[in-house]
């Protein structure tokens, strides 16, 4: 008699959950059930459609140093290219790889898109990340530029010996002047906390690639050799033009294709299903209680293995297993930052480049004090197919908030009006250019490195003690990962399941090595 197949349950149909489902489906004959609370797959990487205009929540540039990730993406969406070697250059890193020639624009595909983000500072557009080059010097003035350089040198001579918080981290790398001008207010807007209350680990994970030596070398290089004004070739840090991969209809297009392939392979993907409880037997999770949003009924699913991407603080309260008061306190004290994006459909953009042409940025980082908006996405510059009308401009004003606060509880009409007024105040648009708008709210978009996070190892050790539970993804590991890192945590987890590996440190180690670090992009 054949042995019954194991049932593997995956909580969450975002990048980590769907990666795990597909890899398990192609490498085993297990029964695989994916439980997703939302009505669509993709998690924070989903694409929201509003009257044919598409919203990318938070912005997802497709870049990875991992060949496995790059090849994996291309299984589902081939890259539109002529067969030559492709070079993607993104956030201080370059990656070259070969892709099969693909020229059929009628089939779903990835685009190679130029990357351009700038800081909107006191009515001027500055390079992002900030560079001490001649363009910056002319725009912010030689006096301020020299103060920034002097502050960098002073910090190098007398650094903060023990970095107690994120402010110390930034000052040690960029000096007080640069930190105050371009890091402090934006970071505090994102996280809703003073930098003095945020762990320096966030900086160590997300801000990588720029160093004192490179900044100073770049300053003097561009001072005496004006044509070399970017951190990019072998002498400097970034190329003048960077490129990344991007699905033609936004990031959710990829994950919708992955979900379809998974279902073709027999994976059960159940949307609008909320996990409300986990039953355990010894050191194993044995059953999952689920609330069906459609039928308003609850049911129980048996599991032999469980892969979870749900927020850690919710996972621990769902467990029926004894938890020490200390672990409970740490888990309940974990914090998240919520996110809203206000989509605005415009007849035109008031903000233009010096030559009078429309700006071609993907993102604008808003540094003006007194404004609640943090960034502005220009969706039509991510992909032409993000807009229904090629003659319109489709942008997204991003707001960082807490679920339940004044911003979060404002009506859509109030938020559309706020976004239009704030962007009109700084000259990006005129209010009468707005012809339509919508609002998308995303709770728990960013796990925070504040609150009880410094004791997170206690929570990690507790979950590691459950032999058949694997935590993956951004919220599953409470780590501010990009989607490729989330995918890699899923890969490590399913490899452990298939090889019957008991340790889980390989999962937690993803995005801790230097080659995985990134410059902060929100």
Architecture of domain 7-44+254-333+452-516: 3-Layer(bba) Sandwich (3.50)
Whether residue 39 has pLDDT greater than 90: yes
Question: If pLDDT is split at 50, 70 and 90, which confidence band does 212 have?
Answer: low
Residues 6 or more apart in contact with residue 177 via CB below 8 angstroms: 144, 147, 148, 150, 151, 152
HSE-up of 72 (CA within 13 Å, CB side)?
Answer: 24
- DSSP string for residues in 208-258: -S--HHHHHHHHHHHHH-TT--SS-SSSSSS-SSEEEEEETT-HHHHHHHH
The three-point CA angle 456-459-462 to 5° equals: 150
Give the whole-angstrom CA distance, residue 18 versus residue 66: 18
pLDDT, the chain, mean: 88
Global confidence as pTM: 0.88
Q: Give the pLDDT confidence score for residue 213 in this predicted structure.
A: 58
Whose tokens are 């160093």? That residue is 211
Domain 336-447, classified CATH 3.20.20.60, yes or no? no
Residue with tokens 């009109």: 424
Per residue in 102-153, pLDDT (tens digit) is 999 999 999 999 988 898 888 888 888 777 677 777 788 888 888 888 898 8
Non-local (6+) Cβ contacts of 67 within 8 A are 97
Is the model's pLDDT at 495 over the cut of 90?
Answer: yes
Sheet strands (E) in 259-406: 268-271, 273-281, 284-292, 297-302, 305-308, 336-346, 363-366, 375-378, 393-401
Of the given ranges (18-27, 220-229, 311-320, 332-341), which has the lowest mean pLDDT? Answer: 220-229
What are 72-99's pLDDT values in tens digits? 999 999 999 988 888 787 655 678 888 8
Give the whole-number percent of the chain exceeding pLDDT 70. 89
Strand partners, 366: 120
Instruction: Tell me what pLDDT residue 163 has.
Output: 92
The secondary structure of 37-94, three-state, reads CCCCCCHHHCEEEECCEEEECCCCCECCCCHHHHHHHHHHCCECECCCCEEEEECCEE
Q: What DSSP designation does 513 have? A: S
Q: Which range has the worst mean pLDDT, 283-297, 344-358, 386-400?
A: 344-358
- Of 337-341, 350-354, 388-392, least confident by mean pLDDT is 350-354
Q: Is residue 108 a contact partner of residue 237, using CB atoms and an 8 Å limit?
A: no
333-363: burial string, b at 16+ Cβ within 10 Å, e else: ebbbbbbbbbbbbbeebebeeeeeeebebbb
Q: How buried is 514 (Cβ within 10 angstroms: 0-12 exposed, 13-18 middle, 19+ buried)?
A: exposed
Q: What is the pLDDT of residue 221?
A: 53
pLDDT tens-place string over residues 424-477:
999 999 999 999 999 999 999 999 988 899 999 999 999 999 999 999 999 999
User: Burial of 291 by CB count in 10 Å (0-12 exposed, 13-18 middle, 19+ buried)?
Assistant: middle
Spell out the domain ranges in the chain. 7-44+254-333+452-516, 130-236, 336-447
Alpha carbon separation from 473 to 137, 217, 297, 507 (Å, rounded): 41, 38, 28, 10
- Are the C-beta atoms of 7 and 286 separated by less than 8 Å? no
The region of weakest confidence among 73-87, 328-342, 378-392, 491-505 is 73-87
């Amino acid at each position: 008699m054949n042995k019954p197949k194991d049932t593997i349950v995956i909580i969450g149909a975002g990048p980590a959950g769907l990666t795990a489902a597909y890899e398990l489906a192609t490498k085993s004959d297990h029964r695989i059930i994916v439980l997703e609370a939302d009505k669509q797959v993709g998690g924070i990487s989903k694409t929201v459609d509003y009257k044919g205009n598409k919203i990318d929540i938070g912005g997802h540039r497709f870049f990875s140093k991992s060949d496995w990730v790059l090849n994996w993406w291309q299984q589902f969406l081939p890259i539109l290219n002529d067969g030559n070697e492709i070079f993607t250059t993104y956030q201080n890193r370059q990656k070259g790889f070969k892709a099969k020639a693909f020229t059929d624009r009628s089939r779903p595909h990835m685009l190679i898109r130029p990357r351009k983000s700038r800081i909107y500072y006191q009515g001027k557009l500055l390079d992002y990340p900030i560079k001490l080059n001649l363009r910056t010097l002319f725009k912010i003035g030689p006096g301020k530029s020299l103060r920034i350089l002097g502050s960098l040198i002073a910090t190098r001579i007398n650094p903060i010996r023990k970095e107690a918080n994120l402010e110390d981290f930034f000052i040690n790398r960029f000096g007080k002047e640069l930190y105050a001008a371009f890091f402090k207010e934006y970071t505090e807007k994102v996280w809703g906390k003073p930098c003095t209350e945020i762990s320096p680990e966030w900086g160590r994970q997300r801000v990588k690639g720029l160093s004192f030596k490179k900044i100073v070398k770049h300053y003097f290089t561009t001072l005496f050799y004006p044509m070399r004004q970017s951190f990019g070739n072998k002498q400097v840090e970034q190329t003048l033009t960077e490129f990344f991969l991007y699905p033609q209809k936004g990031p959710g297009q990829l994950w919708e294709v992955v979900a379809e392939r998974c279902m073709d392979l027999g994976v059960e993907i159940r949307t609008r299903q909320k996990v409300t409880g986990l039953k355990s037997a010894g050191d194993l999770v044995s059953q999952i209680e689920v609330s069906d949003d459609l039928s308003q009924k609850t049911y129980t699913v048996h599991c032999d293995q469980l892969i979870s991407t749900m927020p850690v603080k919710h996972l621990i309260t769902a467990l029926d297993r004894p938890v020490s008061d200390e672990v409970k306190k740490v888990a309940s004290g974990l914090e998240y930052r919520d996110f809203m994006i206000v989509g605005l459909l415009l007849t035109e953009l008031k903000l233009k480049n010096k030559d009078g042409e429309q700006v071609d940025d993907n993102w604008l980082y808003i540094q003006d004090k007194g404004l609640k908006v943090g960034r502005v996405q220009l969706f039509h510059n991510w992909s032409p197919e993000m807009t229904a009308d090629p003659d319109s401009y489709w942008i997204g004003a991003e707001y960082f908030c807490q679920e339940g606060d004044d911003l979060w509880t404002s009506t859509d009409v109030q938020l559309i009006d706020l976004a239009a007024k704030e962007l009109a105040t700084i000259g990006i648009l005129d209010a009468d250019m707005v012809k339509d708008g919508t609002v998308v709210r995303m709770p728990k978009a960013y796990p925070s490195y504040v609150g009880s996070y410094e004791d997170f190892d206690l929570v990690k050790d507790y979950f590691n003690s459950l032999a058949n539970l694997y935590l993956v993804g951004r919220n599953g590991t409470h780590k501010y990962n990009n989607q490729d890192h989330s995918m890699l945590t899923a890969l490590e987890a399913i490899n452990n399941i298939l090889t019957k590996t008991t340790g889980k440190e390989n999962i937690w180690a993803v995005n801790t090595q230097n080659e995985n670090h990134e410059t902060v992009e929100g």
